[in-house]
Amino acid sequence: MGATRERTVSAQEAGSAADSPRRRPRRGGRRSREGLAAYLFLTPWFAGLLFITIGPILASLYFSFTDYTLIGDPQWVGLDNYAKMLTDERLHSSLGVTFVYVFVSVPLQLAMALALAMVLDRGVRGLPIYRSVYYLPSLLGSSVAIAILWRRVFGADGLINQVLAFFGVDGVGWVSHPDYALGTLIVLNVWTFGAPMVIFLAGLRQIPRMYYEAAAVDGAGRMRQFFSVTVPLLTPIIFFNLVLQMINAFQTFTQAFVVSGGTGGPSDSTLFYTLYLYQTGFGSFEMGYASAMAWLLLVIIAGFTAVNFLASKYWVFYGD
């Protein structure tokens, strides 16, 4: 009986060993078919990446070294477009306006977002409703409709001046005055604090309560807890929002175009870099120079992003 069982087991093992090479090709064939299907589904994405993203980027790099007007053939001029930037006063002015907008509006926007996130983190009733209401401006802030509404609110006969007139104060044309036009766009960007606020709120929910309890036992007040517990543990979220909002602020176009009527505002006070780039490329048809400006903007954004990443090791604290 024992010998019979051993022969049976050995026969089964031999059969399974004989069958195993036949099954492996089937698995390999199935995996190859699945891989082929995956690539087929990804084909539209790859096509978009190639023809909508990579292709235009490489084309703009070539055009930046040419004199191109969209009508004739591009003529190679080398570094002339980049040398022209050194003497272009309007380009320098647009850079100054953009820098002021970025370095003023982004910190104010993040401060407003963090403040409201901390208020909502205290357990307000109807939190989903408040969160949706505060997030709504972020969805509409870059739209043409909101920019038109903003122009009406801060116009000479807009809502702001009507409120001031109720208190006997004479208002001004906020969007048409060179001293206040840029400030109205900064306020508009601060008003779209919904997206960073939601991210801050999620980060606050991840901070363990035991840290606050330990700080309270040590006698730390609310302000001390905020600067010694909340801010250090929230620095990764602050860093993420800072990089994201700074990149978005450098690319601001719709608000400046609509509020200023596409002219750059009074005395070019709202001539953002992207707006001047648009005027150069589609107003003056200097596509070669506009392409060079686009690459300068790319370098500026990449430079500030790199600086943020390099500086993050000195003030961003992670759990590990």
Q: How far is CA 311 from CA 248, 276, 315, in A?
A: 20, 31, 7
Which ranges constitute the DSSP H helices of 141-175? Answer: 144-153, 159-166
pTM value is: 0.83
Strand partners, 311: none
Kindly state the DSSP code that residue 32 receives in the 8-state scheme: H
Number of H helices, E strands in the chain: 15, 2
Question: How many C-beta neighbours within 10 Å does residue 288 have?
Answer: 27
Q: pLDDT (tens digit, 9 = 90+) per residue, 31-69?
A: 788 788 888 999 999 999 999 999 999 999 999 999 998
Q: pLDDT tens digits, residue range 12-41? A: 554 544 454 444 455 666 778 878 888 899
CB 207 within 8 A of CB 230: yes
Question: Reduced to 3 states, what is the DSSP secondary structure of residue 66?
Answer: strand
pLDDT tens profile 131-151: 777 777 766 656 777 788 888
The neighbouring-strand residues paired with 75 are 67
